Amino acid sequence: MDYVSVEDAKHKAGLRLALTMGVPGPWSQAAKYIFEHKSVPFIAVGQMGARENAALYDWTGHRNAPVAVYEDEAPRVGWYEIIMLAERIAPSPSLLPHGAAARAEMFGLITEIASEGGLAWQRRLQMINIMYAASDDPKVRQTPDVLAARYGHGPAGAEQAGAVCDDILAMLADKLRAQAAGGSKYFVGNDFTAADLYWACFSQLVAPMAEDLNPMPMRLRVVYEAPKMLTIDPILIDHRDEIYARHLSLPLDF
């Protein structure tokens, strides 16, 4: 991925997308794939994970990623508003299913995966714990310190994180099994939607793909793969492998 600085991006027209550089941040990866899927061109702006990102903050009011800035509109940071921005800019191919009930189902699934308190949020609490346990060196603890301050962290929260993640993973697996029984390979209806895209990207947090497909830094892979803490039904991994193979580009690019 070619990144430009905030300085070089902020006066440009069109879509500017701040994405975390050098690591497969799942919210950033999902935002990138949404626009790629719709062939919407964007300028990628580099955000540095767990850093101050002062220029990004001055421009958008946010230090983390993703941030989508379209023309002179207000910056969008939440996964829902980023999906809806993409749907407005390029309605086709749509990542939404037809009908309100199916949409509600799809957004509910992504909420469990990507919203505050959901799978990735809880998984991040586990990872902050792993990072803290790895070293007492204040320099090494800088990253978990920033993440803990940004996303909330405490021993009690981290302890219940595994159970919440397992519950959500089991729900996703049940959903795929029910869909398969009805002849569908997708989470909702019979077509590829944002729910499939989000699960594929966020699956990297609980079962990262091999080095050749997900060339993430080893220091991070060690944390992502730390003693298997979660129960992951193989149907979830089969689904994400198929989604990448059919709909998303590989290897991961960050």
Amino acid sitting at position 56 = L
Output 179 or 248, the one with its CB closest to ligand GSH: 248
CA 47 to chain centre: 14
Q: Binding residue for ligand GSH (CB under 6 A) from 15, 16, 18, 25?
A: 25
Do 71 and 126 form a contact (C-beta atoms < 8 A)?
A: no
Give the other-Cβ count within 10 Å of 245's Cβ: 10
Output 65 or 85, the one with its CB closest to ligand GSH: 65
- State yes or no: residue 27 binds ligand GSH (CB under 6 A): yes
- State yes or no: residue 254 binds ligand GSH (CB under 6 A): no
Q: Binding residue for ligand GSH (CB under 6 A) from 17, 77, 110, 223?
A: 77
Structure tokens at 192: 């590829």
Among the listed residues 3, 79, 82, 91, the one whose alpha carbon sits nearest the alpha carbon of residue 39: 91
- State yes or no: residue 75 binds ligand GSH (CB under 6 A): no
CA distance 243 to 53: 33
CA distance 150 to 142: 12
- State yes or no: residue 79 binds ligand GSH (CB under 6 A): yes
The footprint of ligand GSH on residues 103-142 (CB under 6 A) is 114
Amino acid sitting at position 182 = G
Q: How far is the CB of 77 from ligand GSH (least distance, A)?
A: 4
- State yes or no: residue 252 binds ligand GSH (CB under 6 A): no
* Span from 73-81, 201-209, 213-221, 244-252 in contact with ligand GSH (CB under 6 A): 73-81
Give the other-Cβ count within 10 Å of 240's Cβ: 21
- State yes or no: residue 194 binds ligand GSH (CB under 6 A): no
- State yes or no: residue 214 binds ligand GSH (CB under 6 A): no
3-state secondary structure of 16: strand
Using CB under 6 A, list all residues that contact ligand GSH: 20, 25, 27-28, 49-50, 64-65, 77-79, 114, 150
